[in-house]
Amino acid sequence: MSKEQKENTFLEGDWERDSGISIVADEILTGMPNAQKLGIFKGLLSQVADLHNDEAALFILELIQKTDQGIEANLAQKYLGSDKHQPPQACGLQTRAFRDWLMKIWWELPWYEEVENLSHLTEYLSTLSKSKEWILKEIVQGWRPEPLSESGKEMSDKALRFLIMAYDPQSISMTDDDMLQGFEDVKEWILTRWLDLSLGRKKVQESEQNKILKATVGPDAEFSVKELERMIQVPRIPHDFAKSLAKARTRKGGLELCLEDIHNAELVKSLSPDERSPAAIELGVCAKTLPE
């Protein structure tokens, strides 16, 4: 088989060096319809995740993404006349569907792995850390879409609500319809995990929470100051999450925003408590909590 032919196989394997089982798998998957591949991969993901096989779960997640990208390319070819080497322009719906699926599968993955320590006591250890980190990075890309179109804003808002719930599952309330809009699977998850929640076995460990915080900020943040301000005021947003966004707002606004905040804070201080509107009081509180 020529190099060009190998590049056209699904796994793009090296048939001169790969094992027999890898070559057979590559050949079978290459001739299989994408819809059939997705069904197989998603079934396998559930099985290996239940066995806490992180490496295998991560590999299968990447295969699912690759299959979705193949579907996108086919749509681009069919409806927009794109050739296979051109970035598909019809990727919006398929990409959003993939990220919606990731936000659903997150709650179906094992929460922790139960192990017995030397004292014969049960410990609850974090599991599938690499796979979960991969999922979070993909969802963060949906939260920070480029460009931020109207449909992109809808996905961005949903991704933000997911990140808030994933960061602190104990903050989720079954009565919070705004937060849970589009997340029926999370409601089911709460009902099945109420005991774990009450015992404080968090879905995301501290190290994973830090990864979420790290992913949500940076000097390359695509959001405007106004967008960051809106997100900071989302109900039930965890304090550390809001603080992280506030730092991003400060970096984005620079010196000009800093001077504006100082000016507004001084105006609020000059008013007596009776003269302050609710908005002014909120502004004063915000000014006191500006990040270092």
Q: pLDDT tens across 117-137, in order?
A: 777 787 778 889 899 989 988
Residue 211 lies in a domain: no
Residue 243 lies in a domain: yes
Structural domains counted in the chain:
1
Residue 240 lies in a domain: yes
Asked if pLDDT for residue 257 goes beyond 60, the answer is yes
Per-residue buried b or exposed e for 42-57, using 16+ beta carbons within 10 Å of the residue's own CB: eebbeebbeebbbebb
How far is Cα 132 from Cα 157, in angstroms, rounded to an integer? 20
Asked if pLDDT for residue 279 goes beyond 90, the answer is no
Angle at 112 between CA 109 and CA 118, to 5 degrees: 155
Residue 238 lies in a domain: yes
- Which structure tokens are listed for 167? 């960061």
Condensed to tens digits (0 to 9), the pLDDT of residues 52-110 reads 999 999 999 999 999 988 887 777 666 665 455 544 444 466 788 899 999 999 988 98
- Cβ 67 vs Cβ 38: under 8 Å: yes
First-to-last C-alpha distance (Å) of the chain: 60
- Which structure tokens are listed for 150? 């109207």
Place 151 in a pLDDT band, splitting at 50, 70 and 90: low
pLDDT attached to residue 4: 46
SS3 at position 115: strand
Place 30 in a pLDDT band, splitting at 50, 70 and 90: confident
**Sequence-separated (6 or more) residues with CB below 8 Å from residue 224:** 252
Report which of residues 169 and 162 the model is more confident about.
162
pLDDT attached to residue 133: 87
Largest CA distance in the chain: 82
- Cβ 166 vs Cβ 136: under 8 Å: yes
Residue 32 lies in a domain: no
Residue 10 lies in a domain: no
How far is Cα 69 from Cα 91, in angstroms, rounded to an integer? 8
Task: State the DSSP string of 22-57.
Answer: HHHHHHHHHTS-HHHHHHHHHHHHHHHHHTT-HHHH
pLDDT attached to residue 275: 55
β-bridge pairing 122-125 and 113-116: antiparallel
Domain region containing 284: 218-292
Query: What is the arithmetic mean of pLDDT over 25-44?
Result: 88
Residue 54 lies in a domain: no
pTM recorded for the entire structure: 0.74
- Rank 4-8, 83-87, 173-177, 288-292 by mean pLDDT and report only the highest: 173-177
Asked if pLDDT for residue 220 goes beyond 50, the answer is no
Residue 230 lies in a domain: yes
Condensed to tens digits (0 to 9), the pLDDT of residues 170-197 reads 777 777 888 888 887 787 777 777 666 6
- Cβ 125 vs Cβ 115: under 8 Å: yes
Residue 218 gets which letter from DSSP? -
Q: Please, what is the average pLDDT of the chain?
A: 76
Considering the chain, what percentage of its residues have pLDDT values greater than 90? 14
- Cβ 100 vs Cβ 156: under 8 Å: no
